[in-house]
Structure 1
């Protein structure tokens, strides 16, 4: 189950990254003096001479083509030759990283004529998927907790956030605010020393507030706890259940991006029993 979930998240992120990059035709031109269609002629199914598209692009082996193509595509250094019948109007260009382009020629191809197609691989800023990496701090009653937030977002995307205060205690004893050990009538002597333990793991969705807006909102759910312990004179720790809670974590907040720097502020609660502010400064690139 966990493996399948990881695979789905990985594929989702890969799809998001692909959407931020595009194939574009930078130039289309007829090569009037190119004799290749005559010297390296290829006939179509009607025994008519083909046209040749000479596609200029880096990493030629990463590209595939669909359409009215005659024979095998020829990959050369920095150039791809595609034979097509005269009169052809379009071709489909595919790349695993940059996606698919269905390109219509400015004119119908003529037989025994060579054409040059210059391809440019570009990053579309409107579709760019940004990666959020942010250290965070939770500030509530007691000492703060620390962690990080990781997310991927174009207009909408997932995130995960973990916080921990690096403090813990174990106890089989419980009491309320009155100090009486539960299940007994005993009230031990306490030293006045207190220990808090705070942890939370949340995941949710980041939503961009506008097409090119630098403002984002986020909301998420998860699990966490906040425990408070009192120390007795015998060195035992007693968990104060009136001041402790565990269960569902809920949070909302906002993020502002200034170029590649991002600022976050939000509020988080555990079962509405414990509330803390969450602040963070990190990178969104």
Structure 2
């Protein structure tokens, strides 16, 4: 009993520092956010309890409706494409490039992941300018210049392209590790049975990677709802409200209007949508055999 008690004390001692950090930087701020959502608070003056007034405004605010719509569009433009492209690239590298060239490709595609979002957004904003390199390439094929960041119909697409380009390398590494973890005997048996490359990919690789795909879809969805710096540097939420997102609305309410209570309320709305979408993904993939 004494040994078990000592083991328990030692375990608690190891856990306590992490728990303390989690409490200070996650749990307490989350509870404070809930409290501030029921207040009128401008940082300078003490918070005033106003009940559900912020929530009543939330459902009438056209900026919230626009930001929610844009966030969902951004998620649909980024998550499926970055998941599909990274999966295909990982499968191609495993299938035909288990060499130094494949290592170089993986490293090269991972460079944008570690690059600053502000730097990436600034560089791509320059490339998307009317006289930028993107329109220059289109001009080689006799295609008229496109107002990528100044047109409401193309601005969110442009931002999504940059996000997909930046994140592919991260998901590629995860998929690559997942494919390498699949027993080689599965592929050897499939080759003996005459299965081609596509058949092996479709019937072995994809089903075996369902837990990995669930992880990637969940992370991609959460990160897509948190997009801010790329939009801040590329479009500033414009033109009009075409690239305004929930996080950008939180930033505007908190640090431009100094309405911390309304910003906290919007942040809770963001949390609710992320939780709902994560639960939907979990149910869908569980139904497909993706998770236990």
Give the shorter-chain TM-score range.
under 0.3
In our comparison, the structure showing a higher alpha carbon Rg is 1
Per the normalisation by structure 1, the TM-score is 0.19
Greater helix fraction, Structure 1 or Structure 2: 2
- Structure with the bigger RCO (C-alpha within 8 Å, sep 6+) is 2
**Which structure: greater strand fraction?**
1
Give the structure-2-normalised TM-score.
0.19
